[in-house]
Structure 1
Amino acid sequence: MECSASLLFSWLFKALGLFLALVIARGIFWLVNLLWVAPLLDPLASLPGPEAPAFQSHFSQVNDPDITPEVYRDWTHNLFGKTFRYHGYGRHDYRLMSFDLRVLSHVLTSPVYEKPWQTRAYLGRLLGRGVFNMEGHEHRALRKLIGPAFTAQAVKGMSPIFLQKAEELRDRWDALVSTDGSSSATFDVAHWISRTTFDIFGLAGFDYHFNALHDESEQVYSAYRRMFSISDKASQLRVLKQLYLPIAEKIWPDENDKITQQCLKTIRDSGISLINTKREACMAEKPDFASNEKDILSLLIKSNLTNEPSNQLSDTDLLDQLSSFLFAGSDSTAVAITWCLHILSQHPEIQDRLRAEIIAGPASEASPSSRRNSTSSISSTSSTLQTDAIDSLPYLDAVLRETLRVTPPVHGTLRVATADDLIPVSSPVVLRNGKVIHENEHIRIKKGSFVHLPVEGVNLSEDIWGPDAREFNPDRWNSLPAGATSPAFPGLANLMSFSFGRASCPGYRFALLEAKVILATLLPQFVFSPVGGIEIGKYNSVLTRPFVRGKLDTEGIQLPLRISRYTD
């Protein structure tokens, strides 16, 4: 018996040793292939691009909005042309970047290219399985389902909410200015605008009152805010842990992990309760449901119930869509409005001209002082007419588009090739061996390669927008250069801020009208000026946000402005 046990133990030990040897050999083979063999066979290796040691990344050059305008201009004009490659996590991770509109159009419209699983996993952790992190059939089905909630008519129906909350913000600021005693005050515009857009999307999206403009203690609002704040401050190491070792959050959760999980539970419990209430009202076929319930959740539920049961979304899926739109519809719009006010504070002549258009325009049926004391009903027909008039103001439209061009909320985005592909180019690419890929020819890309879409870079490209591309000039929208009206980029000219193609933002009408209404409500009342002695920088974390240089670690995201009452 002892001999048999000894032989069995010996056999098991040898088997375990063989298994470990195979695992180690497999790991070595994988590592050698990853670091040396695959890069040699990668077609992107032949493209021009910046040099660096084997394990050096170019992430800081391509992701830091404080330096990317200079970096991109140098790379495209002086060194590599419009299409090149750079290092991701090292030389083994070549990534394609292009400012060629034909390349961008191909990548954004072809089903070969999808958001990387890393991006979808990171967003999915916070927002669930929303339309912004889905691909393939699920993405197409979701786009079809949510389409009715963002038509021009649907957005118009929500516009009285925009006006009501914009007026509440105006009144809160007026009270803050009054307490100063000098008819002016300094406060964090970014925080106030974010509270406003949260309130707007709460009503327009869920028919839910966050009441963030008056009190930030509401539990769902607080949960979203805490969760997004943790995400914004996440280090690269933390993000990598979340992506590649998600089980660590469950086994060894740190304090931020625990807070995030608590926040998600609060959001989901409240959200499911709200969905059930809305569905009951819809299925009861109340006479006033179709006419009065115009929030996005109600529209989604009605659209969902008309589908075949097999194509209907679960309550969790519905909640995930709302969480996605809350992030995209409130946070990104708040960032855009905040940057607009910052830019207007730096260009007082543009601010004065815009204010004059708003005051003189058809939206100004009353004087600024009488509007200051007005109250509006959410269902008011006059409010809808007023927002229609605001939407038609040409200079306001130009200022907002120029803001989105110069300071897009999303700095850049990634796609991954799900198959080997040939990408057509419209500008020559000079390969490292001297060979030239000419117009209407193709560059090769292998399955698994990343493509970096430089949203801000394209928005500031001199080849597209002219030699003054980096200047804030709303008048350019009166006569766009030929490169900015390419048929490859329909819609908002070649403005990449809302993307286009399969992954274009479905809520762009909502965002544009919301921003216009808020700006048109604030400017007749206030004058915005920079705060002396501070410098505003850009911090890129999912969205590009403002911060005071030297105070990011201690005070976080903020945009202090000096706000004074406007007097005729």
Structure 2
Amino acid sequence: MSNLTNFMAISNAIRSTNIHAIFRSIPSNFGAVDAGILFGSSAILYILIRRFSDRRSTPLKGPPTTFGNFLFGVLPFLRNVPDVGAVYEGWASRYGAVFSVPGLLGSRTICLTDVKAIAHFSAEETYGYVGTPPAKRFNEKLLGRGLFWAEGDSHKRQRRALNPAFSNVAIKNMTSIFFDSAYKAKAAWDAMLESSGPSEGIILEVQLWMNHISLDTIGLAGFSHDFGTLSGNTSNIASIFDAIGSKESVLDTVVFLLSLIVPIVDNVPTVRHSLLNQLTKAMQDLGNGFLETTDANADKSVIGFLMKSVSSEKISHEEVMSQIMFLIVAGYETTAISLTWALIELSRNPAIQTKLRDELLRSGDPTWEELTSHGSLLDAFTCEVLRMHPPLPEIERMAAKDDCLPLSTPIQTARGELVDTVFVRKGQYAKLSVECINRSEALWGPDAKVFNPGRWLDESNGVDQQRAQELQGYRHLLTFSDGPRICLGKVFALTEFKTVLSVLLRNFVFEFPNGPDTAIGRRMGLLPRPGVEGEAGYDVPLRIRHYVPTELA
């Protein structure tokens, strides 16, 4: 093998950040010094190639390379920022609606806030823009090669197999499960309040209870399995989820960052690594049990539909296992986080809480039509929680081919040229900060950072939101993503969210023990979870008391 061939082989391996391929590329007759020289030369060659390739892209303005560091770009900085969306918004204001930031190994990541560019990017996802290598490795290791991992035709086929399980008819039939979970929580809280005697209520860690509601619901609706956490049972899966972020150490952070460049580092036995392996094993054990006991002809849960797809050869058993694991993560973690944020916002805004309760008390349990219609304060409140607190704060993909992003408004490049398209080279990373776009003052008006459900009650009147209405996605939001990868379970999540709130809010009043100005931050778990500032872990303690109508008080 010639030296040039050696250089190119190792450079390609470095580019793919595949350490095994790097070692395989080093000739067997090379000594340690020769291998080191070849590796170093190849790394330099790769960096030069990358820099040259970057020049093929439109030269965008953005924070200078010195703002971050060569290895990890701006990632270490952003991991310690309390409001990442605001940082991206500041950069967009300074550098233009499409800009670039320092990325891995001296590269530049394109960041999109232009509505036309976002629409194009979203429409091209899964064929034109695919998962980044680090994200693909993580998803495959944790969840297997299911819907979240798949791209292109494989993603399209797997999604088609799941579609019947998330049709409106299927979810309407699951609504009783959502109500049952909410009423189990109500019954448990009633008992706790009664046993506490005359008082101003009790203090509950509500995130724990929202976890219970979400896990029991996805268990029954997804797999006809009752985890029983609302009845006092413990769940190994829930315990692992809770521990993943609360036990993160400095070593975990260092290993995570290094693994983005050298994948084998991810095998370092840190606490987080051990917990993720435990989570995967626990979900696999559950999935095997579900597959052994499910009757595809009789079961009306999600897994029943999946087993029918297996029998018609639309999807493999291995893919079903991956879908089960994905549904547990998505159905449990995202909904629990959103419900917790909902109770936080109710506690922050007592007037909104009272007004929403009054609306819900006008009738009994909402009907399917009421749960899925627009125009109510419940729907407006739901949209505002999703706008302000998206469970998945950003979307990062890699261009699978050269592409041109159209712009709604021309921008000035780093060379001072005015352009209305941005050229993206194959292999370049592109990112949407969902937090930034959902709360952007350029899109949502001067009160974009204010929690205001009223903005949804007359959208046609929202002059300040006309730019936001150019966004695609669910209700002009990117919370559920958009395009071919828009969240398949969004109607499931929205229906469960509204159902649970309708039951809890008609029966209880929610308050912060230390007042509505209690500071809430975020904790890094599998997804960012809310937590009281200054407190360890994910705890969100709220004072809960029975709602008593004014005439009976």
Short-chain TM bin? 0.7 to 0.9
User: Aligned letter for 2:104?
Assistant: Y
Among 511, 525, 529, the alignment partner of 1:529 is: 511
Instruction: Answer yes or no: is 1:511 the counterpart of 2:493.
Output: yes
Provide closer, same or farther for how the CA distance between residues 147 and 472 of structure 1 changes in structure 2, counting only shifts above 3 A: same
Among 63, 79, 90, the alignment partner of 1:50 is: 63
Contact 2:403 2:425 in 1 (8 A): yes
Instruction: Answer yes or no: is 1:313 the counterpart of 2:316.
Output: yes
- Other-structure match for 1:489: 472
- Other-structure match for 1:3: none
Among 95, 98, 101, the alignment partner of 1:80 is: 95
Provide closer, same or farther for how the CA distance between residues 242 and 208 of structure 1 changes in structure 2, counting only shifts above 3 A: farther
Q: How many matched pairs?
A: 505
Among 229, 239, 249, the alignment partner of 1:225 is: 239
- Other-structure match for 1:180: 196
Name which one, 1 or 2, has greater alpha-carbon Rg. 1
1:152-183 deviations in Å (ceiling 9; x for gaps): 11100100000001000111122223333314
Provide closer, same or farther for how the CA distance between residues 141 and 231 of structure 1 changes in structure 2, counting only shifts above 3 A: farther
Worse-superposed segment, 173-182 or 512-521: 173-182
CA distance in 1, matches of 2:58, 2:74: 15
- Other-structure match for 1:30: 42
Provide closer, same or farther for how the CA distance between residues 16 and 526 of structure 1 changes in structure 2, counting only shifts above 3 A: closer
User: Aligned letter for 2:483?
Assistant: G
- Other-structure match for 2:144: 128
- Other-structure match for 2:21: none
Provide closer, same or farther for how the CA distance between residues 17 and 264 of structure 1 changes in structure 2, counting only shifts above 3 A: closer
CA distance in 2, matches of 1:30, 1:226: 41
1:203-247 deviations in Å (ceiling 9; x for gaps): 000100100112242xxx313531563267543323246666666
User: Aligned letter for 1:402?
Assistant: E
- Other-structure match for 1:326: 328
CA distance in 1, matches of 2:241, 2:501: 28
Q: Give the CA deviation at 1:58.
A: 1.9
Among 183, 189, 212, the alignment partner of 2:229 is: 212
Tell me the SS of whatever aligns to 1:317: helix
- Other-structure match for 2:130: 114
Contact 2:531 2:539 in 1 (8 A): yes
Tell me the SS of whatever aligns to 1:23: helix
- Other-structure match for 2:16: none
- Other-structure match for 2:425: 446
User: Aligned letter for 1:101?
Assistant: V
Provide closer, same or farther for how the CA distance between residues 405 and 249 of structure 1 changes in structure 2, counting only shifts above 3 A: closer
Tell me the SS of whatever aligns to 1:132: coil
CA distance in 2, matches of 1:548, 1:360: 34
Q: Give the CA deviation at 1:46.
A: 2.1
Pairing of 1:277-316 with structure 2 (within 5 A): 277-278=293-294, 281-282=295-296, 289=298, 293-307=299-313, 311-314=314-317, 316=318
Tell me the SS of whatever aligns to 1:452: strand
Instruction: Answer yes or no: is 1:458 the counterpart of 2:437.
Output: yes
CA distance in 2, matches of 1:242, 1:232: 21
CA distance in 1, matches of 2:285, 2:264: 23
Among 215, 219, 233, the alignment partner of 1:198 is: 215
Tell me the SS of whatever aligns to 1:448: coil
Contact 1:230 1:256 in 2 (8 A): yes
Tell me the SS of whatever aligns to 1:471: coil
CA distance in 2, matches of 1:256, 1:471: 35
- Other-structure match for 2:455: 476
Q: Give the CA deviation at 1:532.
A: 1.0
CA distance in 2, matches of 1:67, 1:255: 27
- Other-structure match for 1:341: 343
CA distance in 2, matches of 1:323, 1:156: 23
Provide closer, same or farther for how the CA distance between residues 231 and 567 of structure 1 changes in structure 2, counting only shifts above 3 A: closer
User: Aligned letter for 1:203?
Assistant: L
Q: Give the CA deviation at 1:23.
A: 3.5
CA distance in 1, matches of 2:60, 2:263: 35
CA distance in 1, matches of 2:201, 2:192: 8
Q: Give the CA deviation at 1:515.
A: 0.3
- Other-structure match for 1:371: none
Provide closer, same or farther for how the CA distance between residues 175 and 244 of structure 1 changes in structure 2, counting only shifts above 3 A: farther
- Other-structure match for 1:93: 107
User: Aligned letter for 2:469?
Assistant: T
CA distance in 1, matches of 2:479, 2:180: 27
Q: Give the CA deviation at 1:51.
A: 2.1
Contact 2:59 2:415 in 1 (8 A): yes
CA distance in 1, matches of 2:426, 2:211: 40
- Other-structure match for 2:534: 550
CA distance in 1, matches of 2:282, 2:337: 25
Contact 2:104 2:261 in 1 (8 A): no
Contact 2:139 2:149 in 1 (8 A): yes
Provide closer, same or farther for how the CA distance between residues 233 and 241 of structure 1 changes in structure 2, counting only shifts above 3 A: farther
Provide closer, same or farther for how the CA distance between residues 434 and 189 of structure 1 changes in structure 2, counting only shifts above 3 A: same
CA distance in 1, matches of 2:146, 2:193: 40
User: Aligned letter for 1:496?
Assistant: L
Worse-superposed segment, 161-170 or 68-77: 68-77
1:445-469 deviations in Å (ceiling 9; x for gaps): 2221111111011101122212211
Tell me the SS of whatever aligns to 1:48: coil
Provide closer, same or farther for how the CA distance between residues 241 and 233 of structure 1 changes in structure 2, counting only shifts above 3 A: farther
Contact 1:122 1:243 in 2 (8 A): no
Tell me the TM-score normalized by structure 1: 0.82
Tell me the SS of whatever aligns to 2:61: coil
- Other-structure match for 1:104: 118
CA distance in 1, matches of 2:475, 2:80: 25
Q: Give the CA deviation at 1:41.
A: 4.4
User: Aligned letter for 2:449?
Assistant: R
Name the Cα RMSD after superposition.
Answer: 2.6
CA distance in 2, matches of 1:227, 1:456: 23
CA distance in 2, matches of 1:64, 1:153: 44
* Runs of 5+ unmatched residues, structure 2: 1-26, 460-464
- Other-structure match for 1:272: 288
Tell me the SS of whatever aligns to 1:451: strand
User: Aligned letter for 1:51?
Assistant: P
